[in-house]
Amino acid sequence: MATPVRAQTEPPGTPLPVFDNVETVLAEIRKTRMKRGRLQGQLNRSRERIDVLIVDETDPASLEAYEELERQEQDLQRLVSEAIQRCTYLGRRNNFSPLSSSER
């Protein structure tokens, strides 16, 4: 059995994982890519809602809804960026290229 390796330079905000073998690394990359895909879908839906929202400058409720959707979009964009960074980090750290859709 391989000696567990503890990550030292992971992106901020992520726990330091310990991987015993290649399969666990690949499973973690796959899990992170799936999470990124779900977040990207939520981000796209949020952008669609912003695009179709009719904002009336005199209506505080519509302005509030628009601001909330913008905050949600920014949060989702940050989470997508973190997931991409984590996938890239895990792949580089373990000398793997990120999985393409044909490798799933």
The CA distances from residue 73 to 15, 29, 36, 79, in Å, are 25, 24, 14, 10
Q: Looking up tokens 């994982």, which residue turns up?
A: 17
Q: What percent of the chain has pLDDT over 90?
A: 42
Q: Grade residue 8 by pLDDT with cuts at 50, 70 and 90.
A: very low
Q: Let me know: does 101 contact 30? Beta carbons within 8 Å.
A: no
Model confidence over 35-86: pLDDT tens digits?
999 999 999 999 999 999 888 888 999 899 999 999 999 999 999 999 999 8
Q: CB-based contacts of 70: which residues, under 8 Å, 6+ apart? A: 50
d(CA 85, CA 34): 14
Residue 11 CA from chain centroid, whole number: 13
